């Protein structure tokens, strides 16, 4: 009986470590996708941010409405000076969001006209397994 319990404890730890490694890999992939998406926003390619966004994002807002909104939001800030990841958290089926896997990434950002901005980018795993931005908030 003791050996069975030891085996179950080892198996549980192995599964937990495997899940943590997968989550860490997912977080890194999501951060890369968010970085590429933000680079489009930083270079005033708002229409491309919509094209590269997750399907639910595209269904929620038209490309022209998004382009206008993002340009109106970002233009007064001036050019990006720096951006640092403050946190990146993996979440599966979070409340209030469509079922799926997400990574919530919070950045401390400095723009020419707003030195203390906080950007939150939320990539979601798409049906094809790639990470696509499903949300963007700036304060």
Location of structure tokens 């943590």: 20
Q: With 70 as the cut, is the pLDDT of residue 15 above it?
A: no
Q: What is the pLDDT of residue 127?
A: 93
Residue pLDDT, tens place only, 61-72: 999 999 999 999
Nearest-angstrom CA–CA distance, 100 and 93:
5
> Residue 113 burial (CB < 10 Å; 0-12/13-18/19+)?
exposed
Are the C-beta atoms of residues 94 and 102 closer than 8 Å to each other?
A: yes
Q: What is the pLDDT of residues 30-79, one digit of tens each?
A: 999 999 999 999 999 999 999 999 999 999 999 999 999 999 999 999 99
User: Cα(135)–Cα(89) distance, rounded to whole angstroms?
Assistant: 14
* Domain limits, the chain: 29-138
77 or 7: which leads in pLDDT: 77
Pick the CATH number of 29-138 from 2.130.10.10, 3.10.450.100, 3.20.20.70, 3.40.109.10: 3.10.450.100
């Amino acid at each position: 009986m003791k050996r069975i319990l030891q085996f179950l404890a080892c198996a549980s730890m192995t599964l937990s470590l495997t899940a943590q490694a997968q989550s860490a890999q997912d977080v890194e992939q999501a951060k890369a996708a968010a970085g590429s998406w933000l680079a489009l926003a930083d270079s005033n390619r708002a229409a491309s941010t919509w094209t590269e966004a997750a399907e639910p994002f595209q269904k929620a807002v038209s490309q022209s409405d998004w382009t206008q909104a993002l340009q109106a939001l970002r233009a007064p800030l001036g050019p990006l000076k720096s951006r640092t990841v403050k946190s990146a958290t993996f979440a599966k089926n979070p409340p209030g969001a469509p079922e799926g896997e997400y990574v919530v990434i919070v950045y401390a950002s400095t723009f020419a006209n707003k030195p203390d901005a906080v950007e939150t980018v939320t990539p979601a795993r798409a049906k094809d397994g790639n990470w696509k931005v499903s949300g963007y908030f700036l304060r």
